[in-house]
Amino acid sequence: MMIFLIICSAWLLSLIVVCAWKYSLFKKTWNEFYFADTPVLIESDDWGPGEGFHAQRLLQLLACLASHKDSVDRAALLTADIVLSVPDIEKIMVDPDAGYHRKLLNEASPDIYQVMLQGIQQGVLVPQLHGLEHLNGQAFARLCQLKDSRIAAALADPKHWDWESLDSVLQGHYVDGSELPSQAISSEQAQSLITLASQTFIKLFGFQSLSSVAPCYLWNSDIERVWQQKGVSVIQTAGYRCDGRDKLGNYHQNLNLIRAGDLSEFAQVYLVRNVMYEPIDGNNNADTAYQEALVAYAQALPISISTHRYNYTRGEEEFKNSLKGLDRLLKAIGSNIGRIRYLSSPELGQQYLMDGIEIVNHFNNSQWKPLKQLSGIRKLAPFLWRLYYRHPKLVLLAYISGLIIPASLVCRYSR
Ligand SMILES: [Zn+2]
């Protein structure tokens, strides 16, 4: 008994010391959002103009999502990050002023566009602005005029060429990566591109994009300012912001740590992708994605799955494997994690910004009850998990002091 009391006293003393030392960190972490319902997002970048067969692939992907239902009987849905246009290479080549010309999604790929509209009506697709295009138009036009070898494939077969085949340094939209280090576009260019993107998005989908994710995760605070003027109040991220590439092509971060729920300089809320399901890349799959989903769930965070279009638009066999894996991942999440809620990114963002408001899908006018938050002592276990996954030095200290034992007991029995 005496030994037990001595151990408890030592833990208490250690706890007081650690709390005093890390008070502001603990306070900030405690004051974050903790979700009682687990939001599940499926974020898929790069949907837009493409080969005709993309329409069928998207149709099958959406049919798979429709077969999964959450705790309020809502179907799984794709937050489809839309590229609104592709370059009109033939026009660019004959323009004496070397101007950039584009073909919009509905003109270039009407079948894909129709499948998107159908998915929107069925509630299994919510469009989100990715970019007016997935490249820098001015730089691309200049390279066309120069017949630059880096775009030789585009010039050789403009009708079947895909921007995904460009060097990744040329795929950024809000930077010019044709020469390194890359250059951010000017404020005037940002204003004009985002204004046109915003107008085009409303024209194609009937409502503004309240959220956005920048192509190649390359954007800066100037872009955020213009987004904000155009009604973008939610920014999807991978947990950091990059404003360009250095002379070797490496990403340069100017916000190197973003947590879900953090606010930008312009009061937009950041979301963070925390589950990678990109099987084509070969370094993750449904099993690793499921493990990441469990880690997010333990911390009462949203499960935000990143799964790009290219997983579903390569060869038939690769497509089937990607789709089968996604189906398996959603089954595992649905069966083993209680009270999941399928949501799109703008909807989740609005929950962060206005706690307790109805969830509204503005694209098909459906409404869903708001997400529930954890409060008081019910936050303790996920709070401890957040400390555990984010701060390895604290974890080490917890092992040395023995505090890991009571912390583990809390985590094990409280949720
Ligand atoms: Zn992209």
The CA 280 to ligand 1 mean position distance, Å, reads 15
Q: How far is the CA of 369 from the centre of ligand 1 (A)?
A: 31
Q: In whole angstroms, what is the distance from residue 84 CA to residue 35 CA?
A: 33
How remote is the CA of residue 43 from the centroid of ligand 1, in Å?
11
Torsion (CA) 273, 236, 252, 218 in degrees, nearest 10 = 130
Q: Could you give the CA distance from residue 14 to residue 129 in angstroms, rounded to a whole number?
A: 49
pLDDT at 266: 98
Expressed in angstroms and rounded, the spacing between residue 343 Cα and the centre of ligand 1 is 20
Expressed in angstroms and rounded, the spacing between residue 213 Cα and the centre of ligand 1 is 8
Global pTM?
0.94
Give pLDDT, residue 13.
77
pLDDT at 415: 61
How far away, in angstroms, is 309 Cα from ligand 1 center?
A: 9
Ligand 1 mean position, distance from CA 42 (Å): 15
Per-residue pLDDT of the chain (415 residues; tens, 9 = 90+): 777 777 777 777 777 877 778 899 999 999 999 999 999 999 999 999 999 999 999 999 999 999 999 999 999 999 999 999 999 999 999 998 889 999 999 999 999 999 999 999 999 999 999 999 999 999 999 999 999 999 999 999 988 899 999 999 999 999 999 999 999 999 999 999 999 999 999 999 999 999 999 999 999 999 999 999 999 999 999 999 999 999 999 999 999 999 999 999 999 999 999 999 999 999 889 999 999 999 999 999 999 999 999 999 999 999 999 999 999 999 999 999 989 999 999 999 999 999 889 999 999 999 999 999 999 999 999 999 999 999 999 999 989 888 898 888 888 877 6
CA–centroid distance, residue 2 to ligand 1 (Å): 62
**CA of 47 relative to ligand 1 center, distance in Å:** 8
Q: Compute the half-sphere exposure of residue 292: CA atoms within 13 Å on the CB side of its CA.
A: 21
Place of tokens 């900030």: 28
Strand partners, 103: 86
Find the 130 Cα to ligand 1 centroid distance in Å. 7
Q: Which residue has the tokens 């390569």?
A: 314
Q: Which of 102, 143, 119 is nearest to 47 (CA)?
A: 119
Distance between Cα 216 and ligand 1 center (Å): 5
What single DSSP character describes residue 399? H
- Confidence at residue 22, expressed as pLDDT on a 0 to 100 scale: 84
Q: Which parts of 22-109 fold into alpha helices (H)?
A: 23-30, 53-66, 89-94, 105-108
- Domains of the chain, CATH where assigned: 19-34+374-415 (no CATH), 37-373 (3.20.20.370)
What is the whole-number distance in angstroms between the Cα of residue 150 and the centre of ligand 1? Answer: 19
Q: Give the Å distance between the CA of 215 and the centre of ligand 1.
A: 4
Q: How many angstroms is it from 218 CA to the middle of ligand 1?
A: 10
DSSP strand pairing (241-245 vs 251-255): antiparallel
The strand pairing partners of 269, in sequence order, are 234, 263
- The token pair at 197 is 């993107």
Q: Which backbone phi and psi does 291 adopt, to 5 degrees? A: -60, -40
What is the distance, to the nearest Å, from the Cα of residue 129 to the centroid of all Cα atoms in its chain? 11
* Cα–Cα distance, 363 to 366 (Å, whole number): 8
Please give the C-alpha separations between residue 183 and each of 46, 139, 150, 221, in angstroms, as whole numbers: 23, 11, 18, 14
Ligand 1 centroid–CA 74 distance in Å is 27
Of 2, 77, 94, 13, nearest to 43 by C-alpha is 77
Distance 302 CA to ligand 1 centre (A): 21
Helix (H) or strand (E) holding 3: helix 2-21
Ligand 1 centroid, distance to 329 Cα (angstroms): 22
Rounded distance from Cα 164 to ligand 1 centre (Å): 9
- 206 C-alpha to center of ligand 1: Å? 22
Inter-residue contact 371 to 353 (CB < 8 Å): no
Return the DSSP state at 147: T
Q: Is 316 helix (H, G, I), strand (E, B) or coil?
A: helix
Q: Which of 302, 238, 228 is nearest to 266 (CA)?
A: 228
- Strand 275-276 relative to strand 303-306, pairing: parallel
What is the spatial distance between Cα 247 and Cα 265, in angstroms, rounded to a whole number? 28
The rounded Å distance from CA 45 to ligand 1 centre is: 5
C-alpha of residue 298 to centroid of ligand 1, in Å: 29
Distance 214 CA to ligand 1 centre (A): 7
Number of other residues whose CB lies within 10 A of the CB of residue 112: 24
Ligand 1 centroid to Cα of residue 68, in Å, is 26
